[in-house]
């Protein structure tokens, strides 16, 4: 069984991003970058499926500038077999990325596509569903457990108020939730070895695609700052404040 994992290079989750002075975007010029945390979970799951003999080959793919190789090399160090960079400096939206990933999927013909539930930079949570639709394969998003048996995948997914269990025929696309696993710590020697592994580089044109974003970011703004909270001493005081100050109770 072959797995294709999509990995995006995003700002490190521990970095506190600032908005550019003109409000056009966030300023990540000098920020530390990492593999999107949900994609790290996707890579970990793929590697575990290979370690347990369910998967035979894992291919990681990233769309972005040359620096996205860092995330691909991290994936290689975690245990991925091959890495593909779709090299572009264009600003892309989810549909454009999904189209590029579809082109790679059509070449690679994976049995399972693993993506993150969302990328922590744009929080779009769209690429997985769009890619599944473009490929006409079933999808299960926000997976917290997966099991593969007899060319079928059973996915427990996190939904509002509980969990849902789905069974899909392979090929299928699954996006990862935080509870799926805890990614392994990558040791330095593995990272050094991964630096020497080849990363296949393709351009959108080589995939026969000219992609452009249809969604344009107009403005980025800080959320309004919240007032400090109040610690109430009794339930009666809480009800009184909700009724007379917040005016949310009759």
DSSP code of residue 220: -
Q: What angle do CA 16, 17, 21 make, to 5 degrees?
A: 140
36 is a contact residue toward ligand AMP (CB under 6 A): yes
Give the ranges where the chain is alpha helix by DSSP (H).
37-51, 69-78, 94-108, 127-135, 188-196, 235-244
Single residue of 1, 35, 38, 111 touching ligand AMP by CB under 6 A: 38
Sign of CA dihedral 123, 157, 171, 79: positive
Q: How far is the CB of 21 from ligand AMP (least distance, A)?
A: 25
126 is a contact residue toward ligand AMP (CB under 6 A): yes
How many angstroms separate the CA atoms of 83 and 72, rounded? 6
Which stretch in 46-54, 56-64, 160-168, 229-237 sits in contact with ligand AMP by CB under 6 A?
56-64
Single residue of 1, 3, 6, 76 touching ligand AMP by CB under 6 A: 6
Q: Which is nearer to ligand AMP, 5 or 153 (CB)?
A: 5
Q: Which is nearer to ligand AMP, 65 or 249 (CB)?
A: 65
Which stretch in 43-51, 121-129, 136-144, 208-216 sits in contact with ligand AMP by CB under 6 A?
121-129
How many angstroms separate the CA atoms of 108 and 129, rounded? 19
How many angstroms separate the CA atoms of 67 and 107, rounded? 24
| Size, binding site for ligand AMP by CB under 6 A | 21
**Cα distances (Å, whole numbers) of residue 38 to 143, 219, 247:** 11, 26, 40
How many angstroms separate the CA atoms of 75 and 7, rounded? 8
Residue nearest to ligand AMP (CB): 116
Single residue of 4, 35, 39, 47 touching ligand AMP by CB under 6 A: 39
Instruction: Give the helix/strand (H/E) hosting 26.
Output: strand 26-27
122 is a contact residue toward ligand AMP (CB under 6 A): yes
Q: Which is nearer to ligand AMP, 44 or 228 (CB)?
A: 44
Single residue of 8, 50, 73, 74 touching ligand AMP by CB under 6 A: 8
76 is a contact residue toward ligand AMP (CB under 6 A): no
How many angstroms separate the CA atoms of 68 and 16, rounded? 20
Q: Where on the chain is the footprint of ligand AMP (CB under 6 A)? A: 6-8, 36, 38-39, 62-64, 94, 97, 115-116, 118-119, 122, 124-128
């Amino acid at each position: 069984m072959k797995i294709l994992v999509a990995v995006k290079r995003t700002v490190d989750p521990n970095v506190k991003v600032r908005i550019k002075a003109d409000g056009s975007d966030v300023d990540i010029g000098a920020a530390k970058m990492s593999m999107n945390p949900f994609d790290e979970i996707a890579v970990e799951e793929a590697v575990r499926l290979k370690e347990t003999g369910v998967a035979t080959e894992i291919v990681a793919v990233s769309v972005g500038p040359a620096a996205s190789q860092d995330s691909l090399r991290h994936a290689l160090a975690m245990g991925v077999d091959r890495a593909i960079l779709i090299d572009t400096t264009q600003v892309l939206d989810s549909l454009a990325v999904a189209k590029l990933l579809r082109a790679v999927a059509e070449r690679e013909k994976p049995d399972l596509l693993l993506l993150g539930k969302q990328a922590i930079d744009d929080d779009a949570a769209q690429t997985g569903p769009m890619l599944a639709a473009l490929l006409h394969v079933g999808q299960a998003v926000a997976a917290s457990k997966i099991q593969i048996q007899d060319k079928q995948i059973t996915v427990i997914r996190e939904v509002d108020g509980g969990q849902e269990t789905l069974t899909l025929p392979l090929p299928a696309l699954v996006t990862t939730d935080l509870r799926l696993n805890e990614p392994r710590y990558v040791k330095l020697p593995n990272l050094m070895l991964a630096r020497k592994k080849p990363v296949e580089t393709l351009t959108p044109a080589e995939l026969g695609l000219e992609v452009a974003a249809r969604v344009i970011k107009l403005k980025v703004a800080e959320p309004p700052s919240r007032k400090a909270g109040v610690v109430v001493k009794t339930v009666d005081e809480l009800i009184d404040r909700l009724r007379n100050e917040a005016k949310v109770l009759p």
